[in-house]
Structure formats: structure tokens, C-alpha cells
Amino acid sequence: MERTLAIIKPDAVSRNLIGSFISRIESNEFNVVAIKRAWLTKGLAERFYAVHKERPFFNSLTDFMSSGPVVLMVLEHENAIMGWRELMGATNPAEAAEGTIRKEFGLDLERNSSHGSDSPENAAFEIKFFFSETEILP
């Protein structure tokens, strides 16, 4: 079994889509082994997205991610990282496949409603960034 971090971003939380996301996650046989709601500060968002610090979208992304509550989850599934990324769809909702979360719920490239780890190394970092070991079910 593999674990990945999933985030329901502020645009989706503000539209009351948390239940829709969890339903989609569970119907695709992912186990939610940790979940919490948080409001990221700008500084926390900057630390989390530090890998993108030199990118032109960094300030806009961190402003957006600190603009409202998010839902943070640790998902478990065989091939969880790739499976969650496939379920989310392409970063740009306009390019995402039909039936994916971003196609259905995403508003635009930045407000694409969800985040997922892109590698085992990043998943390990991202999960530890937001969750302690005692918050994650064994």
C-alpha cells in the first residue's frame, strides 16, 4: 500500500464540495487514513510550495492557498500517488479528462480544486509537513 497527500483547495471548500470529494475518493477505493481542515497562513503556504519559489506563479499560488480553509488528507491505496493524480486529472481543468475531479470541479489553472503528491519522495515530505504520526491511522 502507498500513501499520498491530497488537498481540497480553498475554491472547492468554499463551494461546499468536501462531501463530493470524499465520496469520489471512497468510491475509487482509496482509504482516508488522516483528515483535517485547516486555514494555511501565507508563510505556511510558502514553505509548503517552496519547490516553486522561483516560478512566476509562486506568489499567486501561495496567496490563493492561504485565502480560505483547505481539507488535508492522507490517502492510502495500491499505487496511491498515480491513482490520485489520475482521479484528479490534468492541472488545467480545461485539459482534464472527462470524469476527473478537476474537470468536474476545477475553475481554472490555479483554482483547480485539488492537490496531490507527484512522487513517493514528495508524498513523504508533504504528509509529514501537515500530519504527525499519531494523526495517521495505522
Could you give the residue numbers annotated as active site? 115
DSSP letter (8 states) at residue 37:
E
CA distance 52 to 72: 20
Q: Which amino acid is at 134?
A: T
For residue 62, give Cα distances in angstroms to 55, 119, 121. Answer: 12, 21, 22
DSSP letter (8 states) at residue 97:
P
Strands, E assignment, the chain: 2-8, 31-38, 70-77, 114-116
For residue 12, give Cα distances in angstroms to 61, 92, 107, 133. Answer: 15, 15, 9, 27
